[in-house]
Structure 1
Amino acid sequence: MSDSPETKRHEPIADAKIVVGAALAWPLLDQEGRLLLRAGTVITSEEERCFLLEHFSFYAGAPRTDAPQGASSVDGQAEHLAVADMRLSIGSPIGMRSFYATSSPMRRSRIIGFSPDHSLFVTAPRVGKLPLVLTAGENVQAVAIGAYAVYSFSCTVLAACGQPFHYLVLSAPGAIRMLRERKATRVQTRLAVTYREPDSHDARQGLGLGRDLSVQGMSLVAPRAVGEVGARVHVSFPISTAQIDTEFDAVAVVRNVKDSRDADGLVAHGLEFESMSGEQQFALRLFLFDWMNANSL
């Protein structure tokens, strides 16, 4: 885990260090320490370079991966939460990792049942196509998305079963903490979003600014139109938090277009996400809650 960036404003990277056609030697972070572009990203055109320099304030470094202070509570209320307070249900997404692998990413799972003593039955989390190996007696850290918030808690693996499919039986959750409260449907963001045609496997078409992010969609601002109303576009941006480190990829439908190129040279698109895997939905929800919580401090 890398050190957190300092709270003071960082000196921006000199323009000359952003070279068209060359891979970035370091990740680009915004002034809050959030990841904009990963190391190795290639700025493919002068248009992208100018857009990046004009619309983002960034510096070189390692992304902040620690949870923001105060993340264990919302409005000062975090202690003595019970299982019922989380309002989990069959199908609720849950992320897990071994208690002794705190630097590892959360592995996605789902709740498939409850016992009268509040033990949880969950699908086995996976590493690629293989289930994550957890054994009876092993302690795990978990993050679950409830009806109104995201919660963290600890459990012990009571049983690891292979029939009729791979699943785990977890002890009743303990040390439950509310991490993020779902107070808003949209979050004001400034994301470096790459976009391309959905069926194209070639290099990206361009770089845009992602704003007003929600689990349903986002606003994408670009120097040119990415498509007419009804068109589809593939969007991608990095997600890096204390729980996850992945690339968000989704196909979205253009629902509206506001062309203001005569005024400021930009085109704003209202996008609705159409195609997302369960893993992508889980990552996006955690990312949104993390952003909301940081902005409320």
Structure 2
Amino acid sequence: MPKTPLQPIKRTDIKIGSPLPYAVFDVHGRLLLRAGEVIETERQLSTLHEPGLYLASGELTRVSRPFSTTHETPVDASEVATDGSARESRRLSELKLTPGKTLYVDFLSTTNRPRVALRLAGFLEGSGVLISALNAEGNVVPFRDNELLFVRVLTASGVATFEAKVLKVHFTPFPYVVTSYPEAAIFHVMRQHERVDTQIICSIANLSRPVKDEPRPQAAVLKNLSASGCQIEAPPELADSGDRLRLGFKLVAAGEEHVLSLTGDVRGIKTYGEVGKRRFGLQFCELGIGERLVVEHFIFHALIGD
């Protein structure tokens, strides 16, 4: 346990893919990561940060902060994370956001307030951003002047994040807040086949094996998912390479539960340590527009930690 007092680390103080400039502790002072270790993915950061991360007081003054804030120099314009996904620094105007776009807002000034989904009212380049203070239920979300916000927004090609400070709260003609205009947004470019880890119960039927009646489904676990395919964990006798499978499972997207029935071809089979289980890699047959939208919406929200 460190001899000096601990202070909380903001999520935005940690730069994915770069060596930590200081040791990181949990709330009880137990060492989690040594200086120089690397958090490689957004999911790792979310898992670690959920119960709280801390550093020894004074460490932030000894080293430069890994992430820029609204009033500091933006990060380099081109970075590549260790998972192969590109991260870029872009101007907010380059994101081509339109009024009504959903923004996912975290309150950096306190850990007691949950993330809220609000609508973009508009922005004036170089001056400020206007955000509606009404949530999806029509209730007013309270804001305080000078409160620091961390904002995520989904676009057609990726996820953008930026920090902004509340400049003014207004209630007429409708409740909205004016925030500072970010010098830059960090843009996570979605890979063509972005994949997220899952643990979803599903049913599988092998369509390639001759049967008299409808193929009998088996229970399996969906281990990861992308818009082009997935990996499932199932009994070894389920399929051979090249077999076509029908996969049924449920996904929650846009606040609603969707039941999907997709077909895919087995492109790879891996044997794992657990007795009686194998991992089957599936490439989906062409998805319908509705099915693709549901899958991509689920993946987007998984990536932003929703």
Question: Structure 2-normalised TM-score?
Answer: 0.48
Question: Structure 1-normalised TM-score?
Answer: 0.49
Of structures 1 and 2, the one with the larger relative CO (CA 8 A, separation 6+) is: 1
